[in-house]
Amino acid sequence: MTHQLPLIEPDVLIIGGGPAGLTAAAELVDRGAGRVMVVDREKHAGGIPRHSDHTGYGLRDLRRVMTGPAYARHLTDRATRSGAEIRTSTMVTGWSDQHTVDVTSPEGRYQIRARAIVLATGARERPRTARRIPGDRPHGVYTTGQLQNLVHLHHQPVGKRAVIVGGELVSWSAAMTLREAGCTPALMISKYPKAESYGAFNAAGRTILRVPVATRSRVTQVLGKGRCEAVEIEHLDTGKRRTVECDTVVFTGDWIPDHELVRSAGITLDESTLGPLTDTALRTSRPGVFAVGNMLHPVDTADVAALDGKHVAQQVINHLDGRSKPAEGVRLIADAPFRWIAPQILRPGDPAPARDRLLLWTDEFVRFPRVTVRQDGRVVTRRTLAWPAAPGRVFRIPSSVLDGISRTGGPVHITM
């Protein structure tokens, strides 16, 4: 391509029109950030909730509960009404310099340069291949995302009998979708001693879902030529294997941020979340580039992503005003059984994290978790929390546990 692409220059560009990006856009315009533009590669804005057609959205940000599609519409309308410009079917395909991206859309290919950029590209579930599960390659093997797309947006049939791999919140969401599509969720498979998010459902919910759970188990093979016929599963403690018949397999959870733009920009990644390394102001390592939502914490609920968007707005405005001068900070490090923590940097003068919460992911179930914060060999805080830590969903810790740390000291270790 020899000729120069057309260029547009809003004040703020938000990449990704899910709950995080849309909320950030509305807040930014409301607070006078100037011309705010949201781009999303899908035909409609709204992100994942658009095809997650069940209730459970909006509690923390809107203080009410609605279905995914209704929530997506609500956030889209709000952003549009506030005056943010939303461009759909518009995909950012790469960077041409520090603050300029290339996009493709039916209107053509062009560039967008902004004074501040907010990355809100979300997260996806690792498909079977990324989980390195061998066997045949039959039809009928999905992620929850694909399943919900098929069922809710395209009204396509799935099989009759499904195995769900994973026991996270989203796994139960898959179970609901399967039932709705007339497919029996015959077995849920979890490597943990109990289905991770079971506790999140009340007895009534569990009765309605009625999915037997094979705990301490993993899938070792997918079987079937043409259509899926079965999976082979193994009990992790006994090593015993058995075959479970099914014509559908849904790989759920096991999240990874959609971090292609982060990596191709050379923005520093957090090795544990695989999202960009961010501080409590949600800055990335590239000045003027912020990140919000599930790409920072793969994966939390939509309302938490939305509240990231709200939180980042003031930070972006501070940056636009030249008021944001990040100082050296301390690293927050999650030790086992925690897998990751977000955000990962605490700087002097920075705000508390969004919702005053640190977000963590645990590999162990602990009913009465006692959280310990250490810095430079010293215990800063020990606190017992009133809610359990369970694998498969985000564990939230009030950021006040950091109150005693030195923002100029060594790395802060958090464990349980």
Ligand X SMILES: Cc1cc2nc3c(=O)[nH]c(=O)nc-3n(C[C@H](O)[C@H](O)[C@H](O)COP(=O)(O)OP(=O)(O)OC[C@H]3O[C@@H](n4cnc5c(N)ncnc54)[C@H](O)[C@@H]3O)c2cc1C
Query: Where do contacts with another protein occur on this chain (CB under 8 A)?
Result: 1, 3, 5, 41-42, 89, 91, 93, 104-109, 124-130, 132, 134-137, 139, 142-143, 145-146, 149-150, 153-154, 156, 220-221, 225-227, 256, 260, 263-264
Q: Write the CA distances from 10 to 28, 34, 36, 38, 99, integer angstroms.
A: 12, 8, 6, 10, 11
Of 28, 7, 58, which Cα lies nearest the Cα of 305? 58
17 binds ligand X (CB under 6 A): yes
Kind of pairing, strands 345-346 and 378-384?
unpaired
- Taking the CA atoms of residue 145, residue 24, residue 331 and residue 288 in that order, the dihedral angle to the nearest 10 degrees is 120
Cα distance between residue 178 and residue 103, in whole Å: 36
Count other Cβ atoms within 10 Å, centred on residue 336: 10
Contact status, residue 402 vs residue 373, Cβ threshold 8 Å: yes
* Unique residue bearing structure tokens 């075959």: 243
Q: In this structure, what DSSP letter does residue 348 have?
A: T
Contact status, residue 265 vs residue 295, Cβ threshold 8 Å: no
Distance of CA 262 to the CA centre of its chain: 15
Binding region for ligand X (CB under 6 A) out of 44-52, 216-224, 349-357, 402-410: 44-52
From another protein, ligand X, none, interface partner of 154 (C-beta below 5 to 8 A by class): another protein
Based on CB atoms, which residue is closest to another protein, 17 or 329?
17
Of 127, 97, 129, which Cα lies nearest the Cα of 114? 97
Give the type of residue at 247. Answer: D
Binding region for ligand X (CB under 6 A) out of 37-45, 75-83, 344-352, 365-373: 37-45
- Taking the CA atoms of residue 47, residue 53, residue 54 and residue 56 in that order, the dihedral angle to the nearest 10 degrees is 10
57 binds ligand X (CB under 6 A): yes
Angle between helices 302-320 and 68-82 (to 10 degrees): 20
From ligand X, another protein, none, interface partner of 143 (C-beta below 5 to 8 A by class): another protein
Nearest distance from C-beta of residue 307 to ligand X, angstroms: 11
Binder among 26, 52, 117, 181 for ligand X (CB under 6 A): 52
Based on CB atoms, which residue is closest to ligand X, 374 or 393?
393
Cα distance between residue 65 and residue 58, in whole Å: 5
Of 285, 261, 258, 305, which Cα lies nearest the Cα of 345? 285
Kind of pairing, strands 100-105 and 108-113?
antiparallel
Binding residues for ligand X restricted to 81-120, rule: CB under 6 A: 91-92, 120
The sheet carrying 184-189 orders its strands as: 141-143, 248-251, 161-165, 184-189, 213-214
Cα distance between residue 169 and residue 197, in whole Å: 5
Binding region for ligand X (CB under 6 A) out of 35-43, 126-134, 183-191, 406-414: 35-43
Instruction: List, in sequence order, the alpha helices (H) in 185-287.
Output: 203-209, 260-265
From ligand X, another protein, none, interface partner of 173 (C-beta below 5 to 8 A by class): ligand X
From ligand X, another protein, none, interface partner of 18 (C-beta below 5 to 8 A by class): ligand X
Binding residues for ligand X restricted to 135-174, rule: CB under 6 A: 144-145, 148, 170, 173
From ligand X, another protein, none, interface partner of 153 (C-beta below 5 to 8 A by class): another protein
Token reading at 270: 């957090």
Binding residues for ligand X restricted to 273-312, rule: CB under 6 A: 293-294, 299-303, 305
Binder among 10, 14, 28, 41 for ligand X (CB under 6 A): 41
From another protein, ligand X, none, interface partner of 382 (C-beta below 5 to 8 A by class): none
Nearest distance from C-beta of residue 219 to ligand X, angstroms: 19
From ligand X, another protein, none, interface partner of 230 (C-beta below 5 to 8 A by class): none
Nearest distance from C-beta of residue 114 to another protein, angstroms: 21
From another protein, ligand X, none, interface partner of 1 (C-beta below 5 to 8 A by class): another protein
From another protein, ligand X, none, interface partner of 313 (C-beta below 5 to 8 A by class): none
69 binds ligand X (CB under 6 A): no
Nearest distance from C-beta of residue 79 to another protein, angstroms: 21
Based on CB atoms, which residue is closest to another protein, 16 or 337?
16
Binding positions for ligand X, rule: CB under 6 A: 15-21, 39-42, 47-49, 52, 56-57, 91-92, 120-122, 144-145, 148, 170, 173, 258, 261, 293-294, 299-303, 305
